[in-house]
């Protein structure tokens, strides 16, 4: 009787049934899809803000917007890209792939998984609503330095603080779920040193999230009490120290940078062996290098603060530690290149994005080494050189990594092959546009153009025009990417069980148990079968 009435209810209310399915789902694949869709929507919104900023910077002078509103857009662009585009995309991939890679039926805590996703749309709706509040959106940059954010921030700052808390809660809950899943639900025989690299990078990323998100929660709570409860954590007149804010923020912020890149490392480590038709070179060294990056990321936060007047011994320690973190990163790049060396390589779209990731991320790494040097950093600090550096790390790293993953696993997810010709057009146009947008910023920065300011001297006009044209082209590639994904999901050539020809026995085919598996007898990973 109950079943009959339930089916009648679904027949009468299809919209209600559809909403209930997606609102209450505990299926890891559906939640992964929700994360990916939300991240792409927010990527478009934050990207539109970037387009607006580049339009303003197309030529000298104030064209469309005054400096106050320019900085409001800049603040939201940075926050939404970091917390709304990159991180949810990687969490979506983790939800889709980790259970299949370790032979688990689902995530360990499915209801918590649902809850940690549905916090996010409300957090970002709250953040975006600040645009329509009295005094406008926060205008103090995505790093929200005190006392600019505490003493002089608009009333919407309080909503920003609540939004950040909600994002942090979501990240912590998601990280707990990933750790519990990986530790407790691996198939029999899958020891830690047999796990795919994507699983390893996410396990380490999840620990980083649990360690640093409470630090961010602490600093925004201190902001709130400074604003409304008479404390003076960051107010010099009350005995506080504005530089304390920077120390706390960057103690969160620098590991956060690696949180945004480590899953990309894992994706590259899955894709490159498949299309090189070789096992990953130096699997164990890749795992240890990832661990080394995670540990060292906690002792280099001060390189964001060389110009604050820290003692010489602190500057030297931070400088050496920052240069040291390049070693495990270099190990990873070496291993990827060694995997490709003398492999039977083919260059399908996922491989192109993975190679583009490695090459352009390395450029960002070199400019990072330049910024690690204290005397040089004094010159580069707060110029467009820094903007060029972190966009070369983040766009080819996080965004190219995510796109490589989507092209790589989409046939497995929806059963259809994407249009290879369109995928390659997407890659080459996007690569050209990324370099056209961000490479000239190195030169404007070295020549002294300050960041976060909508006007500039005539000497920077040509490079800014080139960057703005590149940004427009880069924006168009996202529309092409959306078209390719939607076209693939709606239909097209059927994907076979062996999608990537000649990749027998490699990672793509191993992790997911057969669709009809009941898990009554979990699949056993044979000895010596490590990725």
* Share above pLDDT 70 across residues of the chain, in percent, rounded to a whole number: 91
pLDDT digits (tens, 9 = 90+) for 57-85: 999 998 899 999 999 999 999 999 999 99
- pLDDT number for residue 494: 85
What mean pLDDT comes out for the span 77-103? 95
CB-hemisphere CA count at 13 Å for 322?
25
CB-hemisphere CA count at 13 Å for 301?
19
pLDDT digits (tens, 9 = 90+) for 13-50: 788 888 888 899 999 999 999 999 999 999 999 999 99
Neighbours of 61 (CB within 10 A): 10
pLDDT at 317 over 90: yes
- pLDDT number for residue 11: 55
Catalytic residue among 150, 156, 157, 269: 269
pLDDT at 7 over 80: no
Residue with tokens 């076979």: 496
- pLDDT number for residue 222: 96
- pLDDT number for residue 16: 85
pLDDT at 519 over 90: no
Catalytic residue among 329, 349, 431, 488: 329
- pLDDT number for residue 531: 44
Catalytic residue among 332, 391, 426, 442: 332
CA 329 → CA 83, 323, 326, 481, distances in Å? 23, 10, 5, 29
Catalytic residue among 165, 278, 303, 391: 303
- pLDDT number for residue 491: 84
| Catalytic residue check, 227 | no
| Catalytic residue check, 69 | no
- pLDDT number for residue 495: 81
pLDDT at 241 over 70: yes
| Catalytic residue check, 171 | yes
Chain-centroid distance of CA 300 in Å reads 20
Catalytic residue among 226, 256, 377, 507: 256
- pLDDT number for residue 496: 76
| Catalytic residue check, 13 | no
Catalytic residue among 150, 156, 157, 170: 170
pLDDT at 492 over 90: no
- pLDDT number for residue 10: 47
* Share above pLDDT 90 across residues of the chain, in percent, rounded to a whole number: 83
| Catalytic residue check, 500 | no
Catalytic residue among 30, 106, 235, 419: 106
- pLDDT number for residue 5: 43
Q: At what angle do helices 262-276 and 283-296 cross, to 10 degrees?
A: 160
What mean pLDDT comes out for the span 283-309? 95
| Catalytic residue check, 277 | no
Residue with tokens 């209450």: 24
Chain-centroid distance of CA 432 in Å reads 21
Angle at 352 between CA 371 and CA 53, to 5 degrees: 50
pLDDT digits (tens, 9 = 90+) for 148-206: 999 998 999 999 999 999 999 999 999 999 999 999 999 998 999 999 999 999 999 99
**pLDDT band at 521; cut points 50, 70, 90:** low
Query: Does residue 501 or residue 357 have the better pLDDT?
Result: 357
Q: How far is Cα 222 from Cα 472, in angstroms, rounded to an integer?
A: 39
Q: How far is Cα 145 from Cα 471, in angstroms, rounded to an integer?
A: 27
Query: Does residue 506 or residue 173 have the better pLDDT?
Result: 173
pLDDT at 506 over 50: no
Peptide bond into 147 cis (omega under 30): yes
| Catalytic residue check, 111 | no
- pLDDT number for residue 15: 85
**Residues in CB range of 427: below 8 A, 6 or more apart:** 349, 352, 353, 356
Q: Which residues pair with 416 in a beta bridge?
A: 494
Catalytic residue among 451, 452, 487, 530: 451
What mean pLDDT comes out for the span 294-301? 95
pLDDT digits (tens, 9 = 90+) for 442-469: 999 999 999 999 999 999 999 999 999 9
pLDDT at 143 over 80: yes
pLDDT at 489 over 70: yes
| Catalytic residue check, 106 | yes
| Catalytic residue check, 247 | no
Structural domain boundaries in the chain: 24-509
CATH 3.90.105.20 fits 24-509, yes or no: no
Query: The pTM is what?
Result: 0.91
Catalytic residue among 28, 77, 186, 442: 77
Mean pLDDT in the chain?
A: 90
- Smallest CA-to-CA distance from 124 within 159, 86, 72, 152 is with 159
| Catalytic residue check, 158 | no
What mean pLDDT comes out for the span 482-490? 94
Catalytic residue among 165, 304, 391, 442: 304
Catalytic residue among 35, 70, 96, 258: 258
pLDDT digits (tens, 9 = 90+) for 377-417: 999 999 999 999 999 999 998 999 999 999 999 998 988 99
| Catalytic residue check, 21 | no
- Smallest CA-to-CA distance from 120 within 75, 74, 78, 164 is with 164
- pLDDT number for residue 503: 44
User: Which stretches within 229-373 are classed as H helix?
Assistant: 242-259, 262-276, 283-296, 312-324, 326-340, 349-372
Catalytic residue among 10, 29, 142, 346: 142
| Catalytic residue check, 416 | no
């Amino acid at each position: 009787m109950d079943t009959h009435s339930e089916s009648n209810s679904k027949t009468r209310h299809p919209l209600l049934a559809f909403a209930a399915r997606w609102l209450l789902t505990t299926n890891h694949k559906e939640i992964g899809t929700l994360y990916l869709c939300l991240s792409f929507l927010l990527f478009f919104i934050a990207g539109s803000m970037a387009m607006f900023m580049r339009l303003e910077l197309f030529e000298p002078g104030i064209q469309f917007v005054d400096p106050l509103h320019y900085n409001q857009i800049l603040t939201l662009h940075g926050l939404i890209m970091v917390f709304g585009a990159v991180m949810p995309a990687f969490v979506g991939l983790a939800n889709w792939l980790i259970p299949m890679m370790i032979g688990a039926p689902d995530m360990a805590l499915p209801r918590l998984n649902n809850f940690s996703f549905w916090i996010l749309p409300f957090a970002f709706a709250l953040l975006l609503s600040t645009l329509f509040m009295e005094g406008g959106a926060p205008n103090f940059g995505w790093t929200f330095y005190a006392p600019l954010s505490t003493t002089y921030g608009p009333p919407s700052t309080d909503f920003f603080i609540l939004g950040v808390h909600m994002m942090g809660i979501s990240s912590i809950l998601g990280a707990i779920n990933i750790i519990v899943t990986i530790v407790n639900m691996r198939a029999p025989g899958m020891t830690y040193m047999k796990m795919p690299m994507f699983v390893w990078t996410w396990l380490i990323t999840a620990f980083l999230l649990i360690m640093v998100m409470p630090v961010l929660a602490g600093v925004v709570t201190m902001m709130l009490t400074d604003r409304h409860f008479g404390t003076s954590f960051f107010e010099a007149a009350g005995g506080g120290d504005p530089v304390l804010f920077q120390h706390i923020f960057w103690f969160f912020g620098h590991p956060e940078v690696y949180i945004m890149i480590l899953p990309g490392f894992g994706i590259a480590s899955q894709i490159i062996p498949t299309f090189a038709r070789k096992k990953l070179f130096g699997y164990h060294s890749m795992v240890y290098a990832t661990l080394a990056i995670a540990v060292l990321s906690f002792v280099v936060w001060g390189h964001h603060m060389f110009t604050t007047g820290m003692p010489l011994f602190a500057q030297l320690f931070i400088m050496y530690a920052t240069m040291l973190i390049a070693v495990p990163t270099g190990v990873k790049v070496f291993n990827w290149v060694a995997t490709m060396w003398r492999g039977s390589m083919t260059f399908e779209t996922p491989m192109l994005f993975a190679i583009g990731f490695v090459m352009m991320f390395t450029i960002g790494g070199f400019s990072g080494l330049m910024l690690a040097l204290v005397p040089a950093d004094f010159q580069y600090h707060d110029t467009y050189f820094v903007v060029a550096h972190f966009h070369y790390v983040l766009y080819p790293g996080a965004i190219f990594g995510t796109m490589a993953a989507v092209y790589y696993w989409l046939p497995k997810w929806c059963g259809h092959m994407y249009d290879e010709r369109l995928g390659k057009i997407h890659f080459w146009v996007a690569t050209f546009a990324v370099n056209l947008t961000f490479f000239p910023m190195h030169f404007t920065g070295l020549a002294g153009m300050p960041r976060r300011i909508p006007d500039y001297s005539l000497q920077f006009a040509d490079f800014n025009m080139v960057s703005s044209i590149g940004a427009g082209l880069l924006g168009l590639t996202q529309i092409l990417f959306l078209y390719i994904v939607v076209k693939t999901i709606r239909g097209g050539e059927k994907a076979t069980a062996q999608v990537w020809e000649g990749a027998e026995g490699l990672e793509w085919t191993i992790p997911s148990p057969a669709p009809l598996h009941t898990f009554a007898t979990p699949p056993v990973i044979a000895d010596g079968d490590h990725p």
